[in-house]
Amino acid sequence: MFNFLQRPERVIGLLLVLVLHGVVLYGLWRYRADIAPEKVVFLTMVTPNAVHQPPRAEPRQPQPAKALPHTPEPVHLQPEPSASPAVAMPAAPAAPAAPAAPAAPAAPATPVAPAMQEPAQPVTLPGELSVNCPERTPPSYPALSQRLGEQGRVVLRVELDEDGRVSGAAVKTHSGFIRLDEAALSAVKTWHCKPARRNGLTVPAVALQPFSFTLEDR
C-alpha cells in the first residue's frame, strides 16, 4: 500500500480510467432515456353513406353601438343685478320745429290744343275735268312721235285742292307710248280750275281727263 501511494502517476491514471467509465455510463443512460416510446396510430373507418357536413357558422353577435361622447349643454349666465340703483338721466330738450316752407305756386294749366280737323274727303266731279277749268292749255304733240307715227288716247286721273289748283296727276289708261303720256301730264299740271264745293265750303276734288293724239288733226 505504501508503495502504491509513493507512485502518484498510477493514482492519476486510475482516476482518469474511473472518470472515463463514469462518462460512458452516463452517456448510455441519457441515450436510453431520450429514445421515444413507440407511437400508436389509431385508424377510423368512414362508411360511404356518411355525408360530410360543413361546420355551421355561428351567428355573429351584433356589436353594441359606441356611445357618442356627451356634449354638455351651454350654460347661459344671467348678469347679476347691479347693486347700485340706476340714475335717471334728464331728457334732452326738444329741438325747435323748423318753419314750414311756403307753398309753391300752382303751375299754370297747360292750354289744350284744339282738336285738328280731319281733311275733307275729295269730291268726284262728273264728266271731264276740262268743263270746270276755264284756264287750260292743250298738250303739244311731240315732234318725234309725229315722225314715228305714234298716236293713241291717254286718260289721266287729276286731283284738285280747295283752291282749284292741280295737286296731283297720274296715268289711268296708257296710250301705248311714253312720250304721249308725258306730254298729257305736263299740260294738265298747268291748268287752273274752279274749286269744288260741298255744303257751301270748298273741298278737294278728283276728275278724269282724256287726251287723244291723232296725226290726222295735225
Tell me if residue 135 falls in helix, strand or coil. strand
Tell me if residue 95 falls in helix, strand or coil. coil
- What are the backbone dihedrals phi and psi of residue 49, each rounded to the nearest 5 degrees, phi first? -75, -10
The pTM assigned to this predicted structure is 0.45
Residue 205, CB-side half-sphere exposure with 13 Å CA sphere: 27
Per-residue pLDDT of the chain (218 residues; tens, 9 = 90+): 545 555 677 778 888 888 888 888 888 887 776 654 555 444 445 444 544 555 565 656 656 555 555 555 554 555 555 544 454 555 555 655 655 666 666 655 665 555 556 666 889 998 899 888 998 999 999 999 999 999 999 999 999 999 999 999 999 999 999 999 999 999 999 999 999 999 989 999 999 999 999 988 66
- What are the backbone dihedrals phi and psi of residue 89, each rounded to the nearest 5 degrees, phi first? -85, 140
How far apart CA 47 and CA 124 sit, in angstroms, is 134
How far apart CA 177 and CA 185 sit, in angstroms, is 13
